[in-house]
Amino acid sequence: MKEIILFILFLSFFIARSQDIIIRTNGVKIEAKVDEVGAKFIKYHKFNNLSGSVFNLKVIDVAEIQYEDGTIRVYSEVIDISESLEEVKSIILEYFNSYTYWENSNDKKRYKAVFEEDYIRLRVMNKSNTKGDKGILYDFSKVYKFGKIDKREEDVTFLNIWVSILVKEKKNLWEKHKLVIRVKGHEKAVTLYKELKKYNKLILEKKRNTKRNKKN
């Protein structure tokens, strides 16, 4: 009887150790059996349903894979969504409100950025920086393209981003728009560009998490 109990315990331990663990960039762990690792996607079965459907996961969404034999393959760092999102928002506001101007204003009409939940509203201020227009609302979860950083003069750099904007609030109608940002200082432009790209990735991850939580 004692031998049977020991055998069952050993078998349970072996089964528990024979699974792969996929850790997503948002910290979620998936108990799986990894079937294939490609350049863009990872194919796997859920460990509790090995005869079930094959799942595909984008490599960019994976932090690491812990294989059953003990080896670990690291792809990127785990992102703390809640903390990082607020930090990135703070940096974006600082740089927009300190170093950016409307595209054709020759450093005379500043952009004023405010967040409305996870949307960014950009207002164009007057020359004295005392009044602004009603602004345009941007959805950075829907970025079509981040253009190349365009350094024009010694102290002027342009950022070109194709992003979705709200055109009819009552109908919740959004359209593709080319946002041109004039930035004073090349290094400041590079920093803002990187933070906006990071923000795009974070809010996409936040939306995916929200959808997964609703399903559960």
What is the reported pLDDT for 136?
Answer: 96
Place of tokens 């990894």: 34
In this structure, are 15 and 97 located in the same domain?
no
What is the reported pLDDT for 174?
Answer: 97
Q: Phi, psi (5° rounding) for residue 185?
A: 105, 115
Helix (H) or strand (E) holding 78: none
Q: Among 176, 190, 112, which residue's Cα sits nearest to residue 148? A: 190
**pTM of the predicted model over 0.95:** no
Final residue of a structural domain among 32, 60, 78:
78
CATH number, residue 39: 2.30.30
Mind listing the pLDDT tens digit for each residue in 26-58? 788 999 999 999 888 999 999 999 899 999 998
Confidence of residue 84 (pLDDT cuts 50, 70, 90): confident
In this structure, are 121 and 94 located in the same domain?
yes
Mind listing the pLDDT tens digit for each residue in 90-101? 999 999 999 999
Number of folded domains in the chain? 2
The structure tokens listed for 81 are 């969504």
In this structure, are 64 and 109 located in the same domain?
no
Question: Which residues form the domain of 34?
Answer: 2-78
